[in-house]
Structure 1
Amino acid sequence: MSGGTKVYKWLLGNFYNVNSLIYGMCFVCVCMQAIQGNDITVKSYKVESRITSRFAHTTVKSSVVNSGANAQSIGFNVQIPKRAFINNFTMNVNGITFVGSVKEKTVARNLYAQARARGKAAGIVRYSSSTHQLKLTEVHVPPGSKVEFELHYQEMMQRKLGVYQHTLHLQPGRLVPLLQVDVYIFEPKGIKFVTASNTLGEHLSELTKITHTKEKAHIVFKPTLQQQRKCENCTESSVDGEFTVMYDVERESNAGELQVSDGHFVQFFAPSDLSPLSKNIVFVIDVSGSMWGLKMKQTVEAMKAILDDLSMDDYFSIIDFNHNVRCWNEDLVQASSIQANEAKKYIQSIKPNGGTNINEALLRAVQMLVRASNQGLTDPRSVSMIILVSDGDPTVGEIKLNTIQKNVKRVMTEEFSLYSLGIGFDVDFDFLERIAMDNRGIAQRINANHDAADQLKTFYSQVSSPLLRTISINFPENAVNNVTQNRFDKFFHGSELIVAGKLQPSDFTTLQSITTASAVTNINFLFNAVLFKYTIMHLLIYAKLLLIRMRVTIVKEAHVTVTVDGKISVMVLLHRVWKKHPIQVDFLGIYMSNANKYSTQVHGLIGQFAKEPEVKLYGVHEGADPKKKEATMEVKGNKLAVTRGWQKDYRRDKKRGSDVYCWFIHNSGKGFIDGSYTSYILPQLDSFLTSI
């Protein structure tokens, strides 16, 4: 699947729903965090991510063995990124692969109990939306079994503060003989920089290796068994934390790029050389009793730094609330150094106590922004926002979350945004997220620890420099359809907007987009992408794709023909067998013309027969089957036993095929093909590509 197609499907929100119990005839997951049973051995733990054009596909694999005489139970945890979607779980037991499926909770539990009673491998998985953890609470592993777990998930990379950040949560749970992390990056426009870090400890940070070319990067983390130990003689693993890769791409002066592939397009929009818009901010801070201590101390520290960051063009005020709501200033004030210092003194004097009246505090904040706008205090092109910091649920005034959500949405205007910061894990983060998304903002959870101030400041940095507002990315009529969101409220420095969709059949040779937005000075952006010339008739019954040296002809449900330089033609047919056939499977047949003109260096399974080898046949006699004669074939200096039989040629008649009389070579072609047939088997379609 191409990068454009992947991004398009991602933006449409086609994700795997795991908010229920998941059951497979045997089950799935990876990342051992808790393992019960002394006879369970973890053989390997591998994580591989392939990032192409900001789209990441991550595979986590782990292999365990139950060497005991009795069945054992093992438990696993894996934490996935919030924006990721899971697209596959499998579990391989003694060479047999099973795929998990989603079931209703009670049904899943019953199926698990039945499988376990029969001595089968089985497991139940839960997904926590609050911690973004996929938890395989128990897997029943029969004695002497080797179990391999494999999890696949995908995510669209988000650019924040000028960086794409890809984080992997490593939790093997114990020492592993083979532990390896590989991250492959391919960005067609070029990679500007790439770095890697982890929270696993200084002694492990030095083990990361990065190779980097203009368009590709490969990051490897592979600690030995000894390097994984917490101490020299420890039996516990120190690998329990995050492994993060950060990078950015090269950008042309036109602020982004427009990519076209496989009938889809994706536009990345990230201008940088623009002056920031002024801001109007109301900080709404929870000062209830639960904020006492470290939470309040960290919030005050962060607010002092944020106030220092405001410019003279910005306007602000502060609302603090517990069971009461107080305003530092009833109106927005200019962010002069004098006003900023007065605000610092105010927040430093706050003593947390009492309940939590979120509803009244947010309504007062909206009133403050509306009043400033009506009085002409704010620049029409400025950006107005509310930043809410809270650690708990409402306990005073309106306490119904749905009602608070409706109240705020009713009074907010389209020019305002609400950003929610939830401190700690006691807060109802789902509520904060809903109320933010309802009002053109985002929410973020802040861990209640000693770096909470840094987390607050980092979040503010993401929204502190708005460059554009009211952004619209448009395409010519009849050129595209099924376009994802193409109108955006704001664009902040260091971020990126993404639009994707499908190309319509047309005579266009170039796809053009025009982006309009409100900035300090009005500005438009123009993007162009050269399309491969193609003609589509009768709903993609026939299609052609013309490249400079290659022509691809597609006949729906029939075949694909690839012609290179007009000299080499290869036809690919999909052959289907009977449904539920006990042995045979669908396969691709590849056919070449005898008139093909290959280079002298042609090789491989097909290339070695570009020049037909000299073949001698003798000793033809009756075989064990009277209908199938047998003989000896001499080819490439080898004497091979062959059997006469019929083969189907599907090039003209795809359904029934035409019979062709052939000689069949035994032993998987040994002696007829160069080397062993196993040399021509690929683990996956793209595995032949050179990796760096």
Structure 2
Amino acid sequence: MGVRREAFTVGDVEPQVIPLIWGWFLVMVDEDDKADCVSYRHSDVGIGRDGHLEAAASHNSTPITGQKKSFPIIQDDSFGLENLIDLEIDGFPSRSKTRNGRYQRSTSDWGYVGDLVEDDDKIGLYSYKVQSTITSRLANTMIQAKMVNNAKRAQHIVFDVQVPKGAFIDNFTMDVNGITFTSKIREKSEARKMYSQAKAKGKAAGIVRSNTLDMENFKTEVNVPPGMRIQFELHYHEMIRRKLSSYEHLISVKPGRLAKHMEVDVRIVEPQGLRYVHVPNSLGDQFNGITTISKGEKKAHISFKPTMAQQRKCPKCSTTAVDGNFVVQYDVNRENMGGELEIFNGYFIHFFAPENLDPLPKNILFVIDVSGSMWGLKMKQTIEAMKAILSELRAADQFSLIDFNHNVRCWRDNLVSATPAQVEDAKKYIQTIHPNGGTNINEALLRATFILNEAQNLGMLDPNSVSMIVLVSDGDPTVGELKLTTIQKNVKQSIKDEFSLFCLGIGFDVDYDFLQRIATDNRGMAQRIFGNQETSAQMKNFYNQVSTPLLKKIQFNYPQESVSDITQSSFHNYFGGSEIVVAGKVDKDNLQHLESIVTATAANAELVMETLRDVEELDGFMRKDKYADPDFTRKLWAYLTVNQMLAER
């Protein structure tokens, strides 16, 4: 997992290092109760994506109990993020109130804190609470931990949570010894300027490390005086993507200790209506029967509240068995082939996921890394997955295989039909592969694009078919072209926006950021999988997401005089089990209905799908539901817009 590390010292020494967002390094120093910071991205500090800043001087000033301090959180704001999302937060939801000009300690509402189970370090976890509300695929999540240092000495207390990669952190706050620390968003260039000024004045700096994967670790260490209580609270939001016909909301629940009070509370509000809600037993068999699910037509409530006894690894153990991911899966009802329009507060969201369509034929080239680093379990699992994937090819599909190390070899120099005989021969070929040598990614991808381009030029491809390359690799190039930007440029020029590139990065040695860039650049996506016993299942799961193209050349159209600032509205492919989401602003004051027209190419026809919605249809439902996020349309629009901008830069 990725690691974000921040260090604080409170009580007698001032806070020094504050959290970050999206892999930006953020270092803060204190100056007259004002936070200064710096941000660095992974690429700014070398191949290891691990940087540090040395302390220039120490601090001796002491904050006054009852103060409220602010610190910045950095996001990549090259495109004016603050104009897209107003993320400036000013403290706890229930912030400290003044009495006679001084702030009360917000930890006073804890009540009785006895009966805590403590490790040898005498640190007790009073409560660990997760609250998440999903409104039309937008999940707002809060993770809160209340801890006590019952030792006779000051010591570090750690708040360590995993946040989904791509989630937007809205706010992080701490309350310790009566001091409430709040967060504010800072743009990157401003942060660098503030840091330079602080460094010139001899202020202290610290260390932040980030190494992002599919999940990111947000880790904060605070030096807490004896007998003191501390409360951490992290807020983030994310858009839940549909995969394999299901939305999956994943919450990391790793308290690290037995909690006197533990709760995971998830609420779902979906105006389209809920088809089903399922909570797999992902935390282990000992928690069977503890989770409760209440499902209505458009709402659901999931609650997980294990007692301290139920949390224990064994009846007399002082360690917790709660250590994993709490998963909620669901899907919504779909009645309109043209998708669902949800309009609220001046924004619209268009969810598009048609079903019951015949698959389009596909032309697919598998490009497999067989360099020496793939030796052993990784290769064994890859062979197992490829044999299963080949068995799932349809009769109308065409395919071939390329394996590469320092050399590039083709099972067939051209695409062949996925007949039983050809599929069986391809399986036998894969079985004979023996990993060795270096990694020539550039030559392998160019060979694959050449085969597809030649087939297209010779008229060998069905006009309604979908062409794609699937790259499987576990490392950076070591032979041939080594410069990643050059490889990216070469592949882009060769593909010419004619087909898609999907990348699977195995293990921790591969440059996953590069795979993401090159895939996004060529109408595809990337996924990291881990080189272990689960590699085969992960590869097959990824393939299943792209194995069933249902539509191509999808175009969303809206009345130009009534909508503005529309997110991406043209898409190369739509795969079965997924969902396309388009958002924009709507002139609600001068419009009674919003109409959308979606055009697309299906297996046997050119489709035109229309949807019409009253712009006030959702108003009543949203305003009377106390759990629904009234700002969900704006947040979803901003989320899509920012991610689109980041992908295009």
State whether residues 126 and 135 of structure 1, in contact with CA within 8 Å, keep that contact through their aligned partners in structure 2: no
CA spacing shift, 1:683–1:308, aligned 2, 3 Å: closer
Aligned with residue 262 of structure 2, among 151, 176, 179: 179
> Within 5 Å, which residues of 2 pair with 1:269-280?
269-280=352-363
Cα deviation code 1:381-402 (max 9, x no counterpart): 1100000000111111111111
Deviation at 1:129, TM superposition (A): 2.3
* 1:423 correspondence with 2:506: yes
- CA distance in 2 between counterparts of 1:329 and 1:141 reads 65
For 2:459, the equivalent position in structure 1 comes to 376
Q: Is 1:469 paired with 2:573?
A: no
Residues 25-55 of structure 1: per-residue CA shift (max 9 Å, x gap): 588999xxxx997232111110111001111
CA distance in 2, matches of 1:123, 1:225: 37
Tell me what 1:481 maps to: 564
The one of 2, 5, 20 aligned to 2:25: 20
**One-letter amino acid of the counterpart of residue 19, structure 1:** W
For 1:160, the equivalent position in structure 2 comes to: 243
SS in 2 for 1:80: strand
Confirm whether residue 254 of structure 1 aligns to residue 337 of structure 2: yes
For the residue of structure 2 that corresponds to 1:397, the secondary structure is: coil
Indicate yes or no: 2:536 matched with 1:531: no
Task: Please give the alpha-carbon distance, in whole angstroms, between the structure 1 residues aligned to 2:235 and 2:389.
Answer: 40
- Offset at 1:110? 8.3
Deviation (angstroms), 1:229: 1.4
Name the TM-score, length of structure 1 as normaliser: 0.70
8 Å contact from structure 1 (residues 360, 397) kept in 2: yes
Partner of 1:395: 478
Deviations 1:576-634 (CA, angstroms, capped at 9, x unpaired): xxxxxxxxxxxxxxxxxxxxxxxxxxxxxxxxxxxxxxxxxxxxxxxxxxxxxxxxxxx
Larger radius of gyration: 1
Deviations 1:641-662 (A, max 9, x none): xxxxxxxxxxxxxxxxxxxxxx
8 Å contact from structure 2 (residues 133, 628) kept in 1: no
Cα distance in 2 for partners of 1:321, 1:514 equals 45
Aligned residues: 519
- 1:472-621 equivalences under 5 Å are 472-504=555-587, 507-520=590-603, 521-532=605-616
Cα deviations by residue, 1:259-282 (Å, 9 ceiling, x for unpaired): 111111111011012111000000
Deviation (angstroms), 1:123: 9.5
Shift of 1:457: 0.5
The letter of the residue matching 1:321 is F
Deviations 1:423-445 (A, max 9, x none): 11111111111111111100000
Q: CA deviation at 1:188?
A: 1.1
Instruction: Report which stretch shifted further, 89-98 or 186-195.
Output: 89-98
Single out whichever of 246-255 and 162-171 deviates more from structure 2: 246-255
Closer, same or farther in 2 for the Cα pair 1:133/1:157, shift >3 Å?
same
Partners of 2:298 and 2:619 in 1: how far apart? 22
- 1:292 is matched with 375
CA distance in 1 between partners of 2:234 and 2:529 (Å): 28
Cα separation, 1, equivalents of 2:619 and 2:266: 31
Separation in structure 1 between the aligned mates of residue 167 and residue 467 of structure 2, nearest angstrom: 30
Q: What letter is aligned with 1:371?
A: E
Per the alignment, in what secondary structure is the counterpart of residue 197 of structure 1? Answer: coil
Residues 139 and 239, structure 2, Cα contact 8 Å, conserved in 1? yes
Q: State whether residues 505 and 515 of structure 2, in contact with CA within 8 Å, keep that contact through their aligned partners in structure 1.
A: yes
TM-score w.r.t. length of structure 2 = 0.75
* Alignment-mate amino acid for residue 80 of structure 1: V
Query: Kindly tell me: are residues 28 and 59 of structure 1, through their superposed partners in 2, closer, same or farther at Cα, counting changes over 3 Å?
Result: farther
Q: Is the contact made by 2:21 and 2:169 (CA closer than 8 Å) also made in structure 1?
A: yes
Secondary structure in structure 2 of the residue aligned to 1:418: strand
**Corresponding residue of 2:99:** none
- Which letter does structure 1 place at the counterpart of 2:142? T
Superposed displacement of residue 505, structure 1: 5.9
CA spacing shift, 1:185–1:126, aligned 2, 3 Å: farther
Matching residue within 203, 218, 226 for 1:143 = 226
Structure 2 CA distance for aligned equivalents of residues 451 and 218 of structure 1: 31
1:216 aligns with 2:299: yes
Contact 2:401/2:410 (<8 A) preserved? yes
Aligned residue type for 1:456: M
RMSD: 3.1
Q: What are structure 1's unaligned runs of at least 5 residues? A: 1-14, 117-121, 534-545, 553-681, 687-692
User: How many angstroms apart in 1 are the aligned matches of 2:292 and 2:203?
Assistant: 44
The change in CA–CA distance for 1:465 and 1:322 in structure 2 (over 3 A counts) is same
Q: In structure 2, which of residues 93, 116, 131 is the aligned counterpart of residue 48 of structure 1?
A: 131
Give the counterpart letter for 1:305 in structure 2.
A
Equivalent of residue 242 in structure 1, options 325, 334, 352? 325
Q: Distance in 2 between matches of 1:126 and 1:48?
A: 27
Contact 1:26/1:123 (CA < 8 Å) preserved in 2?
no
Name the CA shift for 1:18/1:364 in 2 (closer, same or farther; >3 Å).
Answer: closer
Match of 1:189 in 2: 272
Contact 1:393 1:427 in 2 (8 A): yes
Look up the match of 1:677: none
1:322 to 405, 408, 417: 405
Mapped contact 1:479–1:506 kept (Cα < 8 A): no
TM-superposition CA deviations, 1:473-522 (whole Å, max 9, x none) = 01012010011111111100011111111112664311000000111111
Residue number among 530, 538, 541 corresponding to 1:458 in the alignment: 541
Answer yes or no: is 1:98 the counterpart of 2:181.
Answer: yes
Quote the residue 1:619 is aligned against. none
- Opposite residue 462 of structure 1, the aligned amino acid is Q
Alignment of 1:624-663 (within 5 A): none
Equivalence for 1:201: 284
**Secondary structure of 2:259 counterpart:** coil
1:164-215 superposed Cα distances (whole Å, 9 cap, x missing partner): 0000111101111111101100111210000112432211243211111111
1:295 aligns to what SS in structure 2?
helix
2:335 alignment partner AA: E
Partner of 1:449: 532
1:439 to 518, 522, 539: 522
Provide structure 2 residue ranges, at least 5 long, that are not aligned to the other structure: 1-19, 29-34, 36-68, 74-91, 93-117, 631-649
Cα distance in 2 for residues equivalent to 1:155 and 1:547? 23
1:521-552 Cα distance to aligned partner (Å, 9 max, x none): 1111101111239xxxxxxxxxxxx9899xx9
Judge conservation of contact 1:255–1:272 (CA < 8 Å) in 2.
Answer: no
Whichever residue aligns with residue 21 of structure 1, its letter is: L
Q: Tell me if structure 1 keeps the 8 A contact 2:472–2:505.
A: yes
Residue identity in the other structure for 1:522: E
- Note if contact 2:213-2:528 (Cα within 8 Å) is conserved in structure 1: no
